[in-house]
Chains A and B, each alone.
Chain A
Amino acid sequence: MSPRADTATMAKPSLDVNRIRSDFPILSRTVHALPLVYLDNAATTQKPESVIDAMSTYYRSVNSNIHRGVHALSEEATEAYENVRELARQFINAASTREIIFVRGTTEGINLVASAFVPTIVQPGDEILITGLEHHSNIVPWQLVCGQTGATLRVVPISDEGEVRIDEFARKLTPRTKLVAIAHVSNALGTVNPMKSMVAHAHERGIPVLIDGAQAVPHIQVDVRDLGADFYAFSAHKMYGPTGVGVLYGKVELLERMTPYQGGGDMIKSVSFERTTYNDLPYKFEAGTPNIAGVIGLGEAIRYLSRLDRAAIEHHEHELLEQCTSMLKEIEGVRLIGTAREKAGVISFVIEGIHPHDIGTILDQQGIAVRTGHHCAQPVMERFGVPATVRASFAIYNTAEEIDRLKTGLLKVREVFG
């Protein structure tokens, strides 16, 4: 789980960033007549040519529905689709493809667990535990199901650095806690949570853990069995794949016990008006025609990432993070929001007296895409007493020169605002 430590003693792994950049067609475009500097990767990453091609090839020469025809196209499409399930299994080291459910993305994965699992395990007065750094998609589904079941949502506070205190976390695990749901990596702060020990604490008390992996999979090699995750959700579009598709991993024992999420075609074995028999895993949770082209794009994104050295990715993004952090500290009035010891390539900051929205506009005029706003994490903004932040987030194709461009851009902001 921690290649950074492992590789410290070995030769530093490196990425051929120029070559990677040439794989991403969008990176050669300009914005406001300047070369694009794309630093909004936590919102969504760009797509390599191979992913775009795989999806277009699918529509051009394979397109048909899956799991239903005996004709050649349907068989090819089904095979391509199911191959991705195996790729996804390997990607997160799940035990079986029965544990890989294709969904629309992280949000749907979490909602699936909230509606098909939680009602089977909670009584009124029971608790679901989350942390103070969650994305709205790891808050609202739990609020909804708490409202329906009479359970209570409890929150582990975060420190001034943006870390979840493990002692506080352990204290909040009570006999009433029935599920823990935590982001592996925070999209607003960059904090990497110590998932393995958090899961161990919860498991000591027999409590299952859902991990929101949306921001983790593009940056760190994830092994769901090593983590001990009971559920792990992620989105293809944040790891160089297409929008509208993602994966929910769940342990077989839990998935078996769960009620279906949506009803429809594909999720059934037989239907009569008196009685319906549900399909086996994972199809029980995949009602209706899925995003077949999207799944194929996800498969290509996994292949693309797997061809790269994952330790080198971590190392590269960590260097950008450090370079950007030191650069920001030299800019007058900058306050970093989120200074955890363990961080992925996400930096949030504010500049005293200048609203993030104004910073975003001035950077945009210089061809630099950053995110400004609350990053779907309003409780985090409230915790740090800011209405919004500016967020720069890094990917495999970002360069040291781009951090220099960001610096120039921020100096321009300072100049305009005097």
Chain B
Amino acid sequence: MTDVRALYQEVILDHNKNPRNFRVMEDADQFLEGYNPLCGDRYVLYLRMNGETISDVSFTGSGCAISKASASVMSTIVKGRKREEALRLFEQFHDLVTGHNDSHIHPENLGRLAVFAGVSEFPARVKCASLAWHTLKAILQEQKTAVTTE
């Protein structure tokens, strides 16, 4: 038995209980819905850009602890980053939760994302962890229709 605490780390439980940047952004440049039809997780991600820089990010919605904590942690990490940087983080995060994380992740970037490493032991939960990130990627690549994980 893998200890479930490998998945439900304190940081994750904390972000689930007290999600950061959890609000509607009235003056957002863009917002997009991310939806996982399998479990009903549904979030709206809001972004304000200053040129190529993400100047503000927030989200609303509901879902499981993994998806909510992931959206929350993501919001704290990508704020102030350049579009290209955020897209690179997406790739690194994706590798991390799918278990392809051996090579190219810089520890200093991984930082708070490292708490999601346990997700790779729970394949059924990868979609939960990556829902907000997929939504972010879609906005940054200017996709107009809602994101679903299916």
Interface residues of A (CB under 8 A from B): 32-34, 354-358, 361-362, 365-367, 372-374, 381, 387-388, 412, 416-418
Contacts and interface: CB of A to CB of B under 8 A. Distances in A.
Contact of A355 (B1, B65, B122, B124): B65
B39 A357 contact: yes
Contacts of A381: 40
B1 A32 contact: yes
Given A355-B65, A361-B122, A366 B1 contact: yes
B63 interface: yes
A361 B7 contact: yes
* 3 tightest A-B CB contacts, nearest first: A387-B40, A355-B64, A357-B64
B1 A388 contact: no
Given A361-B122, A418-B13, A387 B1 contact: no
Interface of B: 1-5, 7-8, 13, 38-42, 62-66, 122, 124-125, 128
A416 B8 CA distance: 7
Contacts of B5: 416
A32 B62 contact: no
Contacts of B124: 361
A274 B125 CA distance: 57
A14 to B, nearest CB: 34
B2 A387 contact: no
A269 B15 CA distance: 67
6 contacts: A32-B2, A355-B63, A372-B39, A374-B40, A416-B13, A418-B13
Contacts of B3: 365
Contacts of A33: 1
Contacts of B63: 355, 357, 387
Contacts of A412: 4
A410 to B, nearest CB: 13
Nearest to B62: A387
A374 B37 CA distance: 9
Contact of B4 (A357, A373, A416): A416
B37 to A, nearest CB: 9
A412 to B, nearest CB: 7
Main secondary structure of the interface of A (DSSP, over half): mixed
A199 B101 CA distance: 60
B42 A387 contact: yes
Contacts of B4: 361-362, 365, 412, 416
Nearest to B124: A361
A26 to B, nearest CB: 19
Contacts of A361: 4, 7, 122, 124-125
Nearest to A31: B1
A324 to B, nearest CB: 22
B40 A388 contact: yes
B125 A373 contact: no
Given A355-B64, A358-B64, A361-B125, A387 B41 contact: yes
B1 A365 contact: yes
A387 B39 contact: yes
Given A355-B63, A358-B64, A361-B124, A373 B2 contact: no
Contact of B39 (A356, A365, A417): A356
A275 to B, nearest CB: 45
A32 B4 CA distance: 11
A359 to B, nearest CB: 9
Contacts of B8: 358, 362, 416-417
Contacts of B122: 361
A32 B65 CA distance: 22
A374 B38 CA distance: 8
A219 B125 CA distance: 33
B66 A358 contact: yes
A95 B7 CA distance: 56
Given A357-B39, A365-B4, A417-B13, 15 more contacts: A32-B2, A34-B1, A355-B39, A357-B66, A357-B128, A361-B122, A365-B1, A365-B3, A373-B38, A387-B40, A387-B41, A387-B42, A416-B5, A416-B13, A417-B65
Contacts of A354: 65
Nearest to B1: A32
Contacts of B39: 355-357, 372-373, 387-388
B39 to A, nearest CB: 5
B62 to A, nearest CB: 7
A357 B5 CA distance: 15
A417 B41 CA distance: 19
Nearest to A387: B40
B2 A365 contact: yes
Nearest to A417: B13
A381 B8 CA distance: 26
A43 to B, nearest CB: 14
A183 B83 CA distance: 51
Nearest to B122: A361
Contacts of B65: 354-355, 358, 417
A388 B40 CA distance: 7
Contacts of B7: 361
Contacts of A358: 8, 64-66
A369 B41 CA distance: 21
Given A357-B128, A417-B13, A373 B40 contact: yes
